[in-house]
C-alpha cells in the first residue's frame, strides 16, 4: 500500500508479453501507459517487454496480410475491413495510428533486438518504435537495416544493433523467455503480468488497466 506519510510511489513489475506484429498489443501497451499516466506518479512501473511470436514459422519476406489472415482465421474481405475499422477506432482512443499494412513479417530478430534494448533500459521505447514502424509506417520489421534504423531512432547505437542482428546474439534468451511464458499459461497476447501474480489479457481500455493497478497497489 502507498506510504501516505512520504507520498512515495508504489513500485510494480510489469511483464508485457507481446509480438511486434500484434495490433492489439499496440493498443494494450498504449492503454497501459495511459493508465500509468492517469495515476500521476503514484505507481512506478518497471515494464519489461517479453517475447511472443504469433507466427514463428513465417518465412523470410513475410506473407500478404489479407491472404495470411484469410488462411489462418477464415476471415472474409468484409470481416477484415470491419476488424481494421475496429482497430483504427481503438487505436485512436489511445493515440496510436493504424494504417493498412501489406505484409506480415517474421519477428524473431525484432525480439532479439528488444531483449538487448531491455538490457540497455530502452525496451519499451524500442517496442513502441517498432509497433509504429510496422502498423503506422508499414515497414518490414524483419529487415535488419530497418531494425537498426528503428533502434537508432530511440537512441541505441545502430552499429551495435547491426552486429547483434548479424549474429545469433540473444536468440537463446528470447527462446527461453518464450518457453517460460507459454509454460506459465500464456497462449495469446497481449498478456500483462503484474508482480508475477496478476494477469490482464488482451488490448483492454485504459480504465481497465487503471482499475487493476489501483486494486493491486492498494492506492484506491
Which pLDDT tens digit goes with each residue over 130-148? 999 999 999 999 999 999 9
pLDDT class of 70 with cuts at 50, 70, 90:
very high
Kindly give the pairing relationship between strand 103-104 and strand 63-64: antiparallel
Q: Examine residue 67 and state whether it is found in any structural domain, yes or no.
A: no
What's the domain range around 121?
Answer: 10-58+105-217
Question: Domain holding 159: CATH number?
Answer: 3.40.30.10
Q: Examine residue 87 and state whether it is found in any structural domain, yes or no.
A: no
**What total number of domains does the chain contain?**
1
Cα 90 from Cα 146, distance rounded (Å) = 27
Q: Report the SS3 class of residue 56.
A: coil
Strand partners, 189: none
Q: Examine residue 171 and state whether it is found in any structural domain, yes or no.
A: yes
Mean predicted lDDT score pLDDT of the chain: 95
Please list, in sequence order, all residues whose beta carbon lies within 8 angstroms of the beta carbon of residue 67, skipping any fewer than 6 positions away: none
Q: Report the SS3 class of residue 70.
A: helix
pTM reported for the whole predicted model: 0.95
Q: Examine residue 92 and state whether it is found in any structural domain, yes or no.
A: no
Q: Examine residue 194 and state whether it is found in any structural domain, yes or no.
A: yes
Q: Examine residue 98 and state whether it is found in any structural domain, yes or no.
A: no
pLDDT class of 6 with cuts at 50, 70, 90:
low
Q: Examine residue 207 and state whether it is found in any structural domain, yes or no.
A: yes
Crossing angle of helices 171-183 and 108-119, in 10° steps, is: 100
Q: Examine residue 78 and state whether it is found in any structural domain, yes or no.
A: no
Average pLDDT over residues 31-48: 97
Name the grid cell of 68: 495470411
Average pLDDT over residues 92-98: 98
pLDDT of amino acid 18: 98
Amino acid at each position: 500500500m502507498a506510504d501516505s506519510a512520504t507520498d512515495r510511489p508504489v513500485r510494480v513489475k510489469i511483464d508485457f508479453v507481446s509480438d511486434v506484429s500484434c495490433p492489439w498489443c499496440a493498443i494494450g501497451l498504449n492503454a497501459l501507459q495511459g493508465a500509468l499516466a492517469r495515476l500521476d506518479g503514484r505507481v512506478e512501473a518497471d515494464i519489461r517487454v517479453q517475447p511472443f511470436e504469433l507466427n514463428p514459422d513465417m518465412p523470410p519476406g513475410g506473407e500478404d496480410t489479407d491472404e495470411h489472415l484469410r488462411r489462418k482465421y477464415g476471415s472474409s474481405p468484409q470481416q477484415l475491413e470491419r476488424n481494421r475499422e475496429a482497430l483504427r477506432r481503438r487505436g485512436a482512443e489511445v493515440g496510436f495510428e493504424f494504417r493498412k499494412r501489406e505484409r506480415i513479417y517474421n519477428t524473431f530478430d525484432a525480439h532479439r533486438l528488444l531483449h538487448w534494448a531491455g538490457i540497455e533500459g530502452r525496451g519499451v521505447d524500442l517496442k513502441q518504435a517498432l509497433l509504429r514502424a510496422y502498423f503506422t509506417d508499414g515497414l518490414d520489421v524483419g529487415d535488419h537495416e530497418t531494425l537498426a534504423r528503428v533502434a537508432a531512432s530511440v537512441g541505441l547505437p545502430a552499429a551495435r544493433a547491426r552486429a547483434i542482428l548479424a549474429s545469433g546474439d540473444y536468440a537463446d534468451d528470447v527462446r527461453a523467455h518464450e518457453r517460460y511464458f507459454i509454460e506459465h499459461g500464456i497462449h495469446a497476447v497481449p498478456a500483462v503480468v503484474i508482480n508475477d501474480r496478476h494477469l490482464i489479457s488482451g488490448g483492454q481500455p485504459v480504465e481497465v488497466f487503471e482499475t487493476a493497478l489501483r486494486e493491486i497497489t492498494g492506492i484506491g
